[in-house]
Amino acid sequence: MTRHFLSLADQSTEELRALLDLARQIKLFPPTFAEACAGKTLAMIFQKPSLRTRVSFQTGIFQLGGQGLYLGPTDIQLHRGETIADTAQVLSRYVDGIMARVFAHADVAGLAEHGTVPVINGLSDLLHPCQVLADLQTIEEKKGGLRGLKLAYVGDGNNMAHSLLYGGARFGMTVSISHPRGYAPDADVLTRAREIAASTGGAIQVTEDPREGVEAADVVYTDVWASMGQEGEHSERLKRFEGFQVNADLMGCARPDALFLHCLPAHRGEEVSAEVIDGPQSAVFDEAENRLHAQKAIMVRLMAR
């Protein structure tokens, strides 16, 4: 059966541990993997643009000896010109793997269901697993481990919150989500994350009080308040998210050596203050770099000869 990388909930702790170990080896010894995907082609479907996702995947497959084929909104018209099933089957005849950055999670799931090559979820409105694999790699590098740490996410209960819930739960972390009223994570995701945490010794906390959520945290994480496609809600969200900015005062509720992370791009003065994101506790650019190494590990596992 073809294996895919759609959700961290689909991966066992052992599988994710192996991916993190592989990402570390790729980061330390890149020449060792220079031909790991030689002759392989990765189709990269983008319904929405991205700096980090496009550059890290295209650079990553090149550094593994393969090539990436960019398919933007004007190159491929999912649902409009061709069905998901037909697109998946046609691409499977041409390429060795598909990475898709989409709006609806059903689209990336449909590519995996109907295609015969590995499919990687580069982002969907429900989940962002590649980002969180890189986040876990960064936390481990900075903290020396994952189990038992408290990761506090502050903001919208969006795809980042969902994948952090799954990833943290898989490694026995306490994951705290602080959100304004009406912006809670998906109920089904919370249920699944709690099931995973119960099996690993982790814990899931949800609160509408950001100070409570960040209390004694080892890692503080946030994301933009209005994601791509939500631009029309920006003004309303600025009002609703008042008090949820990660600033020096809120960081003071965390442990003194707490790490600050953000998936980027960031809006200084909105979800995070410049003092925090540009300060000594921030590891956002190490985190961004690790997208390259973590995704190379995924491609090696799924596409290597």
Active-site residues, by number, are: 101, 128, 131, 223, 263, 291
Q: For residue 305, how many other CB atoms are within 10 A of its CB? A: 11
Q: For residue 27, how many other CB atoms are within 10 A of its CB? A: 17
For residue 265, say if its preceding peptide bond is cis, omega within 30 degrees of 0: yes
| Contact in structure between 139 and 146 (CB atoms under 8 Å) | yes
Residue 121's DSSP bridge partners are 100
Through-space distance between the first and last CA atoms of the chain, rounded to whole angstroms:
16
- Beta strand pairing call for 41-46 and 67-71: parallel
Of 50, 103, 54, nearest to 230 by C-alpha is 103
Of 205, 220, 207, nearest to 256 by C-alpha is 220
Cα–Cα distance, 192 to 194 (Å, whole number): 5
